Structure 1
Amino acid sequence: MTQSVVVQVGQCGNQIGCRFWDLALREHAHFNKSGLYDDTIGTFFHNVDSRNGVHLAGGERIQMLKARAVLVDMEEGVVSEILQGPLRDVFDSTQLLTDVSGAGNNWAVGYMTYGSTYREKILDKLRKAAEQCDCLQAFFLLHSMGGGTGSGLGTKVLSLLKDEFPEVCRIVTPVYPSLEDDVIISPYNSILAMRELTENADCVLPVENQALVEILNKIKQTSHGRQSGAIMSGGIVSRKDGLIGSERPFDAMNNIVAKMLLNMTSSARFEGTLNMDLNEITMNMVPFPQLHYLVPSLSPLYSLADVSAPTRSLDQMFADAFSKGHQLIKANPKQGLYLACALMVRGNVQVSDLRRNIERYKPLFPFVSWNQEGWKTSLCSVPPVGHTQSLLALANTTGIKSTFVELRERFTKLYKKKAHLHHYLQVDGMELSLFSEAVTSLDSLIDEYHNVETGKLISDLPRFNMAK
């Protein structure tokens, strides 16, 4: 049995994590009617009371089940909210690390100041989480790119994970700010964080706020007049009539990201005829070490609904997965070349139907010449709660290059004016050269995608062997 640890950093990372644990508990409770602790639950939870194996059949006993998680935030608000909500018994004090002042939307404060101050405490909590695993397979890091704690301390934690656990897969879900982000210096934070992601992550599943907003608008249009289930802010089950009352729009956005993570980890948690090991994702999807940014798309789309979202056929879900409207980061799927594509299906789906759809889409999306058969598939027999089937596609495509070019342009507009740089340079350990190094790193990443796209592969570019 393999286990994974979720590391949540900053407000955004902890809010997404809250949704993930909520939905994961729901899934295991729904499909594990006996409530007994087993290998599937053990993937992300551990049993703290071996005298009694019953955990999910009754809310009064949930305290025996603890999440394999580390929660970090330099403000107390979100973590305190989690600890006062229905999930409070899933965590204990050894998993938490908070401060009161926050990082002031400054990457340098998060990375340099708090990263130095809390380095040993963070390492201690990571080690304790790892020690609870019999076979640690992966760390999942959740954080934002635009703020200070998420971008700065989040990528510092990533660096510590690489140094302390170099053999353990590091899968990162960063949330990128939208063009209308209210943090004016978010391009600085994002560029500085990008360098760390490129150098220290094994696999990155980027999510973009603007894409999530557009998905929610799409859901609202298609579900008009139809009732749906809902999950309330920070809690388990809420009302059945949608996003109203105390529920906030970003709760629904976080819910979509959490569902993406649930689909990605479904093979590790449940039985399936064609299960995919988490390590297989990096082995098959990342032919070059730095080109590890995978575009996620999800079908069916539903925000806070658990029971009433419309059923989609497998053919419809394939059409969704290769359309811009279902991607969690805005990148044109019809531009550029595919290096690889993973299709992770849940539900009662036949392998023959899965292969038929792959053959149907092969001519439409060009792959690099040296990996024409770069399709990786998994089939987990357990669907999401309230649905018959679902599909998560993870595409390693050069089309994501446009997202990084746009980010660089936003950074350049600020940097040319030297706007707000003094906020960074007054932080101990921060130097102006780190900005130029971060931009050089992003330029190199964009160039590598361009070289793959044009067939001009760099001869000395490290390359992994593709798994068969």
Structure 2
Amino acid sequence: MTQSIIVQVGQCGNQIGSQFWSSALKEHAFHDDSGYFSESVASFFRNVDSKSRRNLAVSNPPTQIQSLKARAVLIDMEEGVLNRLIQSDVGELFNSTELIKDVSGAGNNWATGFHFYGSHYQEQIVDAIRKECELCDCLQSIFILHSMGGGTGSGLGTRTLSLIAENFPDVFRFVIPVYPSADDDVITSPYNTTLAMKQISEHGNCVMPVENQSLSAICQQLGSAKVDNIKHTVTETKEKAFNRMNSFVAKVILDITASARFDGSMNVDINEICMNLVPFPKANYLVPAIAPLYSPKISQPRHLDAMFTDVFSNHNQLCRVDLRKGTFLSCALLVRGNLQVSDVRRNVDRLSDCTKFIYWNKDGWKTGLCSVPPIKQMYSILSLANNTSIKYTFEDLRSRFYKLFSRKAHLHHYLNVDGMDIDQVKCAHESLNDQIAFYSEMESAQPLHVARPKII
């Protein structure tokens, strides 16, 4: 059984992480009521009870978790979120050696997070991650959770990613960056996001982008409040609404790793996702979508075939793009529940007729079937679409970046940080242009007409 480590950076990353650990505990408890520590639980947790294999946390989460420790590293330069996390129901999952924190924050400045805090804490970060790696029997992947708009998430988050790539190059790096909304109240977020994108494009094996705007829209369509900006009217507490948004991101990690934690007739290993879905280093962005979407107001399961259709709808995407505008380089359908392989293949055949794949990978589907469904659901699907339409999201970012950079607005805040210079900003802009150009080239790619050799 393989293991994974979760690295949570910044306020956003730690809030998502908090939701993930709670959901993971509940999922293992629901499907294994024996209460014994198992290989399945060991994917994300360590058993530190040397006297007994009995683990009360699995049978009754999250009230008794003394014998479990999370395979995690928690980083934030403002200690408020981490302090609340440690005091929460899942706080006992974490050791003090796994916490790296400061008090002043990065001030919505990528350079402060990347250069100032990154240089100051890099040895501590690497040591904390190395200790977690050494406690794994078969480490396969590290998930990095962080935001793109703020200073700690974008700056220190991507510095952490680069340190992992440098010190643990053989471990698969799955990045889940949360992109800010177009009306984000952090005016420097286009700078932060562009500078961070260069790092995750270079150092992430698989990048699964998530947008605040998309999460908010999903909550709205399920009857929740729109809470991506404080000025919006809310119909439920802000904390509950954010927890629901974070739960969708947590579900992505749970579904990706389901095959590593539970049995199934077509289990998909983590390394297969990277191998099959990322044909080129630059094509490492996988748009996640989940189905069915449930809420207290929508509890009836969708028809099975409709569920397969839903994951290609922008209403179910955590990063909203129009897949019909682009070309698929590859696509994964990771299914959980009591389904037959024939059900999956029938729907893949049906969807193949209405999806456009690049000419050299017409059969670019990767399917997985794990027999264990999510809690209180019959079945679910996670789709990971490597589609060129992600370039339109990048083009929108480039437009917002240029509005600031063309006037050099707010740039002095970045250049005043030791280690930062104007060339890094220009290089990040060029990297974004290259990313857009690459996907445009893939979108317009045509088969090469090579003359057949004459048979004499």
TM over 0.5: yes
- Number of the residue aligned with 1:312: 302
Q: Does the 8 Å contact 2:29/2:60 carry over to 1?
A: no
What residue number does 1:395 align with? 385
2:135 aligned residue (124, 132, 135): 132
Q: How does 1:50-449 map to 2 (within 5 A)?
A: 50-55=50-55, 56-58=58-60, 61-220=64-223, 244-245=236-237, 247-302=239-294, 309-449=299-439
Distance change >3 Å, CA 412–CA 300, structure 1 → 2: same
Partner of 2:29: 29
**Shift in Å, 1:259:** 1.2
- Post-superposition Cα deviations, 1:135-193, rounded to whole Å, max 9, x if no partner, equal 11000000000000000000000000000001110000000000110100000000000
Q: Specify the code of the residue in structure 1 equivalent to 2:163.
A: L
How far apart in 1 are the matches of 2:388 and 2:8?
28
Amino acid in the other structure paired with 1:197: I
* Structure 2 Cα separation of the partners of residues 332 and 213 of structure 1: 17
Equivalent-residue separation in structure 2 for 1:214 and 1:32 (angstroms): 34
In the alignment of these two chains, the number of paired residues is: 437
Q: Matches of 2:175 and 2:268 in 1, distance apart?
A: 18
Q: Distance in 2 between matches of 1:321 and 1:33?
A: 31
Consecutive unaligned residues of structure 2, counting only runs of 5 or more, are 226-233, 449-456
Task: State the 1:245 CA deviation.
Answer: 4.7
Aligned match of 1:461: none
Residues 54, 61 of structure 1: 8 Å contact kept: no
Task: List 4+ stretches of structure 1 deviating above 3 A.
Answer: 58-61, 242-248
Distance 1:412 1:116 in 2: 28
Q: Flag the 1:403–1:245 CA change in 2: closer, same or farther, 3 A.
A: closer
TM-score (norm 1): 0.91
Query: Distance between the aligned counterparts of 1:446 and 1:47, measured in 2?
Result: 45
The structural deviation recorded for 1:456 is 6.5
1:137 match: secondary structure: strand
Change (3 A) 1:369 1:64: same
CA distance in 1, matches of 2:127, 2:235: 39
- Distance in 2 (CA, whole Å) between partners of 1:411 and 1:89 is 42
Contact 1:286 1:292 in 2 (8 A): yes
Q: CA deviation at 1:57?
A: 2.6
2:250 match: secondary structure:
helix
Q: Match of 2:389, SS?
A: helix
Shift of 1:308: 6.8
Structure 1 pair 457–433 and aligned structure 2 pair: CA distance change class (3 A):
farther
Partner of 2:10: 10
Q: Is the 8 A contact 1:321 1:392 kept in 2?
A: yes
Instruction: Please report how far the alpha carbon of residue 310 of structure 1 lies from its aligned counterpart in structure 2 after TM superposition.
Output: 2.0
Which digits, 9 at most, give the CA deviation of each residue in 1:274-317, with x for residues without a partner? 100011001000000111000111101136x5x97221222111
Question: How has the CA–CA distance of structure 1 residues 249 and 355 changed in structure 2, closer, same or farther, with 3 Å as cutoff?
Answer: same
Which residue pairs with 2:19 in the alignment? 19
Alignment check: 8 A CA contact 1:40 1:270 kept: yes
Indicate the larger mover: 57-66 or 5-14. Answer: 57-66
Letter in 2 for 1:274: M
CA distance in 1, matches of 2:392, 2:29: 42
TM-score for both structures, normalised by structure 2: 0.93
Quote the Cα distance in structure 1 between the aligned partners of 2:299 and 2:262.
Answer: 23
Deviation string 1:388-420 (CA, Å, 9 cap, x unpaired) is 100110000001110001100010011111110
Does the 8 A contact of 2:222 with 2:298 survive in 1?
Answer: no
